[in-house]
Amino acid sequence: HQSTEIQNLHAQIARMHSAAASQYSSWCVCVVDIQKEFYSECDAVKESFPDLPTHVTSLLTKCRAVGIDVVHVRANYKPEHSPWMDFSSAITDSVRRSGDMSPEECAKEIGDEKVVTKPTFNGFIGTDLELHLRGTHKENLIFLGIMGSCCVLLTAYHANLLGFRTFVVPECCGDRSQELIDQTMEAQSRRAFCVVPLASMLQWLEETQTNGCDWSTLVKLSAPRKTY
């Protein structure tokens, strides 16, 4: 009798986990270029955003806990498959050529989480990112990563143009200065995507477990659109 009760309890817990995961099945977190090359080996970013690993860990931990899928988009820039490098290298000294895709500890994939390697600043160009998101029925994307004013911006913008509902968490983005992040988020908020503060995102994730997962509520928590 006790064994039957335990089995029933386990079955009930499994159903609860399944129901919780299903309400987030259209959601995905896209982690862009949180690689050693762009953070711990890049003094300007590391010094400007010392709390980035902590913020990323808190967001990914919560997203995984509620059952949101995570996709890792990583830079792999090499002349043989990145034709833009020729001209870019002539006009700037900031183009990195190593193709080292080692992630920071806070952004390592867990289990079978998808890893996409990109040859450009845009995670959708020359990759199977859109194919993966469509194939797994994603509609709502949460972006974080490095550089916020470049690779995160271009990839999130492209996602918006493809019809995905797109959100960016600014505290989980890094760049060469805080000013660059602030300018980017202020300019794009409620244009290309919704900018949702980390505290608001974590609060929303907590509340969705009892109130349901409604993207329109998250929009209301996002920063207002700046009028120019």
Within its chain, how far is the Cα of 146 from the centroid? 10
Q: Which residues of 5-43 are buried (b: 16+ CB within 10 A; e: fewer)?
A: eeeeeeeeeeeeeeeeeebbebbbbbbbbbbebbbeebe
Q: Tokens 């009028």 map to which residue?
A: 227
Spell out the residues 6+ positions from residue 152 whose beta carbon is closer than 8 angstroms to its own: 32, 33, 143, 144, 145, 146, 168, 173
CA atoms within 13 A on the CB side of 124: 16
Q: Which residues of 168-185 are buried (b: 16+ CB within 10 A; e: fewer)?
A: bbbbbbbbbeeebbeebb
Q: Within 10 Å of residue 97's Cβ, how many Cβ atoms?
A: 11
Instruction: Tell me the three state secondary structure of residue 18.
Output: helix
What is the chain's pLDDT, residue by residue, as a tens digit (228 residues)?
556 665 555 454 444 445 556 889 999 999 999 999 999 999 999 999 999 999 999 999 999 999 999 999 999 887 777 777 677 777 776 666 556 789 999 999 999 999 999 998 999 999 999 999 999 999 999 999 999 999 999 999 999 999 999 999 999 999 999 999 999 999 999 998 999 999 999 999 999 888 888 899 999 999 988 776
pTM of the model: 0.87
Q: What is the DSSP letter of 33?
A: -
Q: Tokens 């949702």 map to which residue?
A: 196
> What is the side-by-side strand order in the sheet with 69-75?
114-118, 69-75, 27-32, 140-146, 165-174, 194-195
Assess contact for 223 and 197: CB atoms under 8 A. Answer: yes
* Distance of alpha carbon 39 from alpha carbon 108, whole angstroms: 14
